[in-house]
Structure 1
Amino acid sequence: MTIEEVREMALPATGRSGSGGDAVLAAFLDLTVPEGYRAELIEGEIVVTPPPDGDHEDILGRFVRQMIRTSPAELYSSGAKGLITPAGRFIPDLTVGPEGVFAGKDSWFVPDGVVMTVEVTSSRPDKDRGPMRRGYAAAGIPFYLLVDRTEGTVTLYGEPDTEDYGRTSGCRSARSSTSRSRSRSPSTPPPSADPRPGAPHTSSVSRGRGASVRPVGGRRLPAWYGRGQGAPGPE
């Protein structure tokens, strides 16, 4: 089934239930996309993403390098594993877990044992900021790292429950993305951010029930996270 054939079914899928949702899932699993493209089922909508640009991959490469160098635990990562979550079927930019977490798994699997997912924003940043974050939390994945190239921020989410993550901590990138610099001077910090490059700040994320997430307090973060200018972030 081609993208054009399935798109008409997929777009109104958020209002469907029962057999309609099953039909969309079946169409999604039968979907054929061009080489290098990625198809995901996000809250009932089939989203097809083109291959990422070089800066996107550079950020992921630096993240993996730091993880290997500084993590006290031996962790494996994959950029092509399909995860089955309560909010749909996602393919994170990176899926991180202990040795053996991917062994013997099908192309789509329930993320038991996965310790972190990583997303770097590209053509659909709204999906990374909301639906995918909530899906990873609902799946019980302990940490979600979001590198937002548009906002120029790096945010680590933790303490998941069935609706969202309960805590968050982050920092502002030393340099903003190209799209951000067009609309705001690089010397102008985002709202509520420390103007010093790389300085930590806390974010408030709507959880859909009037509450806000809180900054990470006593919870220990991965060893490679938050080391000033060494933290992975947008160029």
Structure 2
Amino acid sequence: MSTAPVEPGAGPGEYSVADPERALKYAVQHTKGDRAEIIEGVIDFMPPTWDHEAAAEVIRDQIKPRAKEPGCVTGLGNLDLPKSSNWYVPDIAVVPRELAKGGGALLPDQTLLIVEVTSESDAETDPVVKRKRYAEYGAPLYLLVDRVEETVTLFSGPGRLGYTRAEGPHPFGAALRLPEPFGIVLDTSEL
């Protein structure tokens, strides 16, 4: 069992955190039950609703067969954003199989695609905060399924100030092409 980071020299019964980022990320990794992530320093417990999961499944079912071909896996594993108070659990991430075997969190730039599906509770988080952070940390493709606005947008060309390209927003029902290594056209009519 690992222990939480404690500042050297803390006396018996004293708990002093030497590195707040590390302590916060330790705490979120050791919560039981619901998926938990840290968004700009706030721990967010996010039990998905069935309508949210149904939308994610529409995308996952189309991506999964194509992701297997270049040796990738799809899932909702942890993504660490070092030197920030952020620890994300995207609705879908596509990562190389060899990286998925390590057991720890990955970095956004180690993904091939990240998909976030908005809910009423995170209607501003996914399209604004996470979009900026995923770009800043080098996630090559970010697909935003905005259930509030009923649109899909594919962001690419990550950089420190955000994504440089956006394909969309397109209304639900429109076809959206994912570039290689996927090379598929997503059907969004069931979202």
Same fold (TM over 0.5): yes
Partner of 2:113: 116
Q: How has the CA–CA distance of structure 1 residues 220 and 91 changed in structure 2, closer, same or farther, with 3 Å as cutoff?
A: closer
Within a 5 Å distance, the mapping from 1:145-156 to structure 2 comes to 145-156=143-154
Instruction: Report the alpha carbon displacement of residue 66 of structure 1 after superposing the two structures with TM.
Output: 0.9
Structure 2: which 5+ runs fail to align? 1-16
Indicate the SS of the match to 1:100.
Answer: helix
SS of the residue corresponding to residue 101 of structure 1 reads helix
Report the CA distance between 1:82 and its aligned residue: 3.1
> What is the aligned partner in structure 1 of residue 50 from structure 2?
54
Is 1:67 the counterpart of 2:63? The answer is yes
Letter in 2 for 1:82: L
Shift of 1:95: 1.2
Q: Separation in 2 of the partners of 1:21 and 1:137?
A: 29
Amino acid at match of 2:46: P
Please tell me whether the aligned partners of residues 97 and 113 of structure 1 are also in contact (alpha carbons under 8 angstroms).
yes
Q: Which residue of 2 aligns with 1:224?
A: 184
Instruction: Map 1:130-169 to 2 at 5 A.
Output: 130-169=128-167
* Count, aligned residues: 170
Shift of 1:21: 9.9
Q: Superposition RMSD on alpha carbons, in Å?
A: 3.0
- The 8 Å contact of residues 91 and 115 in structure 2, kept in 1 or not, is answered as yes
Secondary structure of the structure 1 residue equivalent to 2:183: coil
Q: Which runs of 5+ in 1 are unaligned?
A: 1-19, 175-197, 201-215
Q: Residues 192-231 of structure 1 correspond to what in structure 2 (within 5 A)?
A: 198=174, 220=179, 222-225=182-185, 227=186, 230-231=187-188
How far 1:86 sits from its partner (Å)?
A: 5.5
1:4 paired residue number: none
The answer to whether the 8 Å contact 2:109/2:140 transfers is: no
Please give the per-residue CA displacement for 1:101-120, whole angstroms capped at 9, x wherever unaligned: 211141x3334431111100
Measured in 1, the distance between the counterparts of 2:25 and 2:110 equals 25
Q: For residues 132 and 233 of structure 1, do their structure 2 counterparts lie closer, same or farther at Cα, with a shift above 3 Å needed?
A: farther
Deviation per CA, 1:88-132: give whole Å up to 9, x if none: 2211111112222211141x3334431111100022121101111
Offset, 1:77: 0.9
**Equivalent pair of 2:90/2:114 in contact (CA under 8 Å):** yes
Q: How far has the Cα of 1:34 moved from its partner?
A: 5.3
Give CA-to-partner distance per residue, 1:49-87, whole Å, 9 cap, x none. 331111211122221221134556343111132333565
1:194 aligned residue: none
